[in-house]
Amino acid sequence: MKRNSRLPGFDQTLELLRKRGFEVKQLSQGRVLVSKYGCGAELVPGKDAPVAFAVRPGALVQGEVARLVDRGYQKFIKSSKYELPATAAWLEAIHTFGEELKQAAGGISLYNESLGTTSDRYLYDRVAGREAAPAAVAVRPWEAAGGH
């Protein structure tokens, strides 16, 4: 016997988001841009949930959802054309937008994400490029070197 789902469908979720003050704009390939507070996310119909993120929440930079990059010493808002230092106001707006979007869409709010804004990428300068370094030969002082 098939169970009746209490979760609304994709279109009902979009209508609920409109009622809660989100701007909803149709994009190509079934994607929908949802925006509020100068932030946005791209949604698609989900398999297990009514909606899924095609592009996670981020700041809107000239109509594009920009990614949040953590470089260890500072966070940056990175789009395809620009990389801007993230201000506290932007971080707060991204966090508020993401939490409201999850709550309205029936998503799960995780503890670590509820504490503050999490980045999409972590690029610490001390470890950037480390994986490309050739493996050094270990020095073995107990082995005799040639000549002695």
pLDDT (tens digit, 9 = 90+) per residue, 35-63?
899 899 888 887 877 777 788 888 898 88
63's tokens: 């109509």
Q: Which of 47, 48, 41 shows the shortest CA–CA distance to 14? A: 41
Tell me if 145 is assigned to some domain: no
* CA 37/CA 40 separation, integer angstroms: 8
144's tokens: 């005799």
Tell me if 80 is assigned to some domain: yes
Tell me if 142 is assigned to some domain: no
- For the chain, percent of residues with pLDDT exceeding 90: 4
Tell me if 26 is assigned to some domain: yes
Greater model confidence, 31 or 132: 31
Tell me if 148 is assigned to some domain: no
Tell me if 65 is assigned to some domain: yes
Q: What stretches of the chain show up as alpha helix (H) in DSSP?
A: 10-19, 88-105, 111-115
pTM of the model: 0.68
Tell me if 108 is assigned to some domain: yes
* CA 14/CA 26 separation, integer angstroms: 10
115's tokens: 């504490």
The number of helix segments (H) and strand segments (E) in the chain equals 3, 9
User: In which band, very low, low, confident or very high, does the pLDDT at 11 lie, cut at 50, 70 and 90?
Assistant: confident
Is residue 50 exposed (0-12), middle (13-18) or buried (19+ Cβ within 10 Å)? Answer: buried
The number of domains in the chain is: 1
- Paired sense of beta strands 121-122 and 67-70, if any: parallel
Q: Domain of residue 127: give its range.
A: 10-132
Average pLDDT over residues 121-142: 63
Contact 25, 17 (CB under 8 A): no
Q: What is the pLDDT of residue 58?
A: 87
